[in-house]
Amino acid sequence: MGISRRGALTAFGAGIAGVTVGGCASAQGRAVTQQTTSAPVRTAATPTAAAAPDLGTLARSLGTRLVQPGARTYGSAHQLFNPLFDNRKPRAVAQIANESEVAACVRTAAAARLPIAARSGGHSYAGYSAPNGALVVDLARLAGVRVHPDGTAVIGAGARLGSVYSALAKAGRALPAGSCPTVGISGLTLGGGVGVLTRKYGLTCDRLRSLRIVTADGTVRTASADQEPDLFWALRGGGGGNLGIVTELTFATVPAPRLTVLTMSFPPGSAAKVFDAWQRWLPGAPAEFWTKCTVTSGAQPAARIAGCFTGNAKAFAPLLAELRKRIGIAPKTVHTEEKDYGAAMRFFAGSSARETFHATSAVLTAPLDAARLTRLARGKPGVAVMFDALGGAVSAVGATETAFPHRTALATVQIYSGTDQARVRGIRDGLGLPGSYVNYIDPGQPNWAQAYYGGNAGRLRAIAEKYDPHRLFDFAQGLSRI
């Protein structure tokens, strides 16, 4: 059963959609002070005056894989997942084939003072992976997945979740990550990475053991707990697009578990009671049970619940019975099914088709006034408010141990519409929740640095100054703007 984000508004089981569809976004925040403990990294070139972009050497090296305006494939080459950004006009799209070509792109951009952005899955909610006038580094060809006998997985930065899950399942391994099959593993991980195994196995970035990254000076670096530890810290939750271009990620995977999936839908008018029971039940739920509550707008807002239990259906049955008892309303539909890891990931996958949407986010840190939520959703057709459970393994990591700050939160919140940005932002502002998830980045997010990074913003800014002192990887909500 696959459901797109658009299906969150109309289809049964829509509560399972949108788990990390923005996980490939880039973003950062603004605020606080910082200290730099070592000298800044020198960029490949530090020109004092703007130069006309010279792509001649890069064009000779890449040939037709450097797609420029006028080329027959230019229109499709710069497309992102969201058609809203089809009008973007990058200076060129470099369809790189290896790490050395990534480094060449970075050096070229630095020398020409040309904006540069990496594109993994192309799901940036703000379209930051296809800026006007920029050199876009398309990582799609870096899509290999190698699983070693010890369970370590080495994954190219351009790999999409669908192919990652397929390769891992074939090897009998699993990785906690998002749902949308076309989301890129790199962007998802750099922002944190939430999904249906999050409560049991942690964020995607919590399974990360090292990365290879090309920084602003054109140097290929390995970042891990032992090498470039500050950079490694920032790359686990600091958002994509800020500190360089990641080319490869190494994860510690887990043995692929047997899973039980759940979808339940409730009648219109029951949203307040369903959501309130769900949010108050959530803190005591076992880590093995991830769950999501979606409130859909309308004259009488409705609610859906989806879930994924790490274990068999027999062990899950008492938990489901307890949740249903707490809710106290008979669902319209209930579906549970035991699946292997690969089949469960396909169940939550949704469509790969491009999709027009507007979205923003919040973070649920304490129980919310459910009546306020339903008032905000009433009379605003075409909006879904999706609460993805955190807790469990996520809260076992301290808020400053990685750049992802929302460790004690109950859930991330995605507010989504296929048609209306003002509506989603109005609901967000009306909820009055602190925080926001950087993988659901929104250019209209107030006080975005604090919202995305909390108390980690200052350290992130200092690390950005060290590795990119001349702001090669700058963008509107980048770390250099904190």
- Could you report the per-residue pLDDT of 331-384, keeping only the tens digit for each? 999 999 999 999 999 999 988 899 999 999 999 999 999 999 999 999 888 999
Model confidence at 189: pLDDT above 90: yes
In this predicted structure, the answer to whether residue 11 has a pLDDT above a threshold of 60 is no
How far is it, in rounded angstroms, from Cα 412 to Cα 251?
Answer: 23
Judge whether 255 and 172 are in contact, CB under 8 Å: yes
What pLDDT, on the 0 to 100 scale, is given for residue 380? 87
Q: What is the pLDDT of residues 277-320, one digit of tens each?
A: 999 999 999 999 999 999 999 999 999 999 999 999 999 999 99
Q: How confident is the model at residue 95 (pLDDT cuts 50, 70, 90)?
A: very high
Note the pLDDT tens digit of each residue in 124-176. Answer: 999 999 999 999 999 999 999 999 999 999 999 999 999 999 999 999 999 99
Region for 52 from its dihedrals, namely left if φ exceeds 0, alpha if ψ lies in -120 to 50, beta otherwise? beta
Task: Decide if pLDDT at 92 tops 80.
Answer: yes
**Strand runs (DSSP E) across 8-76, as ranges?**
66-67
In this predicted structure, what is the pLDDT of residue 26? 32
**Of residues 224 and 21, more confidently modeled:** 224
Dump pLDDT digits (tens) for 232-282.
999 999 999 999 999 999 999 999 999 999 999 999 999 999 999 999 999
Q: Give the other-Cβ count within 10 Å of 301's Cβ.
A: 25
Measured at the alpha carbon of residue 72, what is the angle toward residues 69 and 75, in degrees to the nearest 5? 60
Q: Give the per-residue pLDDT at 378.
A: 95
**Residue 468 corresponds to which tokens in the numbers above?**
């990119």
**Tell me: the pLDDT tens digits for 441-462?**
999 999 999 999 999 999 999 9
**Model confidence at 8, in pLDDT bands (50, 70, 90)?**
low
pLDDT digits (tens, 9 = 90+) for 390-430: 999 999 999 999 999 999 999 999 999 999 899 999 999 99
Q: What is the mean pLDDT of the chain?
A: 91
pLDDT number for residue 33: 27
Helices of type H across 171-289:
185-191, 198-201, 229-234, 271-281
List of residues 6+ apart from 343 with CB closer than 8 A: none
Provide the sign of the torsion angle of the four alpha carbons 157, 159, 162, 165, taken in this order. Answer: negative
Which residues are 378's β-sheet partners? 298
**CA pair distance 189, 185, nearest whole angstrom:** 6
Percent of the chain whose pLDDT exceeds 70: 89
Give the pLDDT band of residue 41 (cuts 50, 70, 90).
low
Say which residue the tokens 């989504």 belong to: 416
Query: What interhelical angle do 370-377 and 421-431 show, nearest 10?
Result: 160
Question: Does residue 292 sit in helix, strand or coil?
Answer: strand
CATH numbers and ranges of domains, the chain: 6-27+258-454 (3.40.462.20), 56-138 (3.30.43.10), 145-255 (3.30.465.10)
| Secondary structure class of 313 (helix, strand, coil) | helix
Which pLDDT value is given to residue 46? 44
Instruction: Specify the pLDDT at position 249.
Output: 98
pLDDT: is 43 or 347 the higher one? Answer: 347
Asked if 217 and 43 count as a contact pair (C-beta separation under 8 A), the reply is yes
